[in-house]
């Protein structure tokens, strides 16, 4: 039985060639033997609209994904906080399917909730206010009507601001809120949640309303590539470099 592969928070960008090399090695290598690939947000460090595909670096990433899906491996991509403007042109170019904010799938015989994960960081009130603004379709349409170069400038300014604000915040509020996690398990009736965003890879066991549950946090790609391999035999974490 082929495994399903899950990854998140690659933050691909021209200034991070090692991560890009690991991604291309992933799509040419282990991904080719997968039942499917789920990228749970922040594939790119910044995405200001699907016209960004014209630039050389994202064009190479799109080509890697297209080669994977053309080889018969289905791929799904969630929007993260860095690439929330991924659109249907990107999906058509890559052959991937864009996921909604939260998705329930059967993985290894278990109903599993998939998410980027930032919606669970409810203690960070300022971030949640920005997130609600950024995910609003009307605001997104207004952003996409701006000239491309202006959007690039805004994205760079927002990244600098985000780094500065994150450095000043207590570490505790940057992680998920326990009540928000319990509520997600309760509302969706699942026993497993897989997400990224927090850059705190771990496998958590918890009990919700008397039911044993597990929460798996995917690793970010700051140093090399990391992905989760999942099938009926269980879960395994894998690393990959370029």
Domains of the chain and CATH, by start:
4-240 (3.60.21.10)
In whole numbers, what is the pLDDT of the chain averaged over residues? 95
Higher pLDDT, 171 or 213: 213
- Residue-wise pLDDT for 78-123, tens only, equals 999 999 999 999 999 999 999 999 999 999 999 999 999 999 999 9
pLDDT higher than threshold 80 for residue 172: no
Please check whether residue 82 is in contact with residue 221, taking contact to mean a CB–CB distance below 8 angstroms.
no
Q: Are 74 and 36 in contact (CB under 8 A)?
A: yes
Give tens-digit pLDDT for 140-171: 999 999 999 999 999 898 888 877 777 777 87
Evaluate if residue 58 carries a pLDDT over 90. Answer: yes
- Residue-level pLDDT at 237: 97
**pLDDT beyond 90 at 195:** yes
- What local confidence, expressed as pLDDT, does residue 167 receive? 74
State mean pLDDT over 183-202: 97
Q: What angle do CA 198, 203, 206 make, to 5 degrees?
A: 105
Write the burial class of residue 171 (CB in 10 Å: 0-12 exposed, 13-18 middle, 19+ buried): exposed
Percent of the chain with pLDDT over 70: 100
Alpha helix stretches (DSSP H) within 29-136: 56-70, 88-94, 125-134
Using CA atoms, how far apart are residues 3 and 7, in angstroms rounded to an integer?
13
């Amino acid at each position: 039985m082929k495994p399903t592969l899950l990854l998140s928070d690659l933050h691909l960008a021209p200034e991070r060639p090692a991560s890009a090399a690991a991604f291309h090695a992933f799509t040419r290598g282990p991904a080719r033997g997968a039942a499917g690939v789920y990228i749970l947000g922040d594939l790119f460090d910044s995405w200001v609209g699907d016209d960004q595909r014209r630039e050389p670096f994202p064009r190479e990433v799109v080509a890697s994904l297209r080669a994977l899906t053309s080889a018969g491996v289905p791929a799904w991509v969630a929007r993260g906080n860095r690439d929330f403007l991924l659109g249907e042109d990107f999906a058509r170019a890559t052959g991937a399917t864009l996921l909604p904010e939260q998705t329930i799938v059967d993985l290894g015989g278990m109903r599993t909730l998939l998410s980027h994960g930032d919606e669970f960081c409810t203690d960070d009130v300022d971030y949640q206010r920005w997130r609600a603004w950024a995910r609003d379709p009307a605001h997104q349409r207004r952003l996409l009507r701006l000239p491309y170069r202006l959007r690039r400038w805004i994205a760079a300014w927002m990244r600098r601001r985000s780094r500065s604000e994150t450095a000043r915040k207590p570490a505790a509020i940057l992680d998920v809120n326990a009540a928000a996690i319990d509520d997600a398990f309760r509302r969706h009736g699942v026993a497993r949640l897989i997400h990224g965003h927090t850059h705190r890879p771990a496998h958590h066991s918890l009990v919700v309303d008397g039911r044993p549950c597990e929460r798996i946090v995917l690793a970010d790609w700051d140093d090399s590539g990391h992905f989760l391999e999942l099938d009926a035999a269980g879960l395994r974490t894998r690393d990959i470099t370029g």
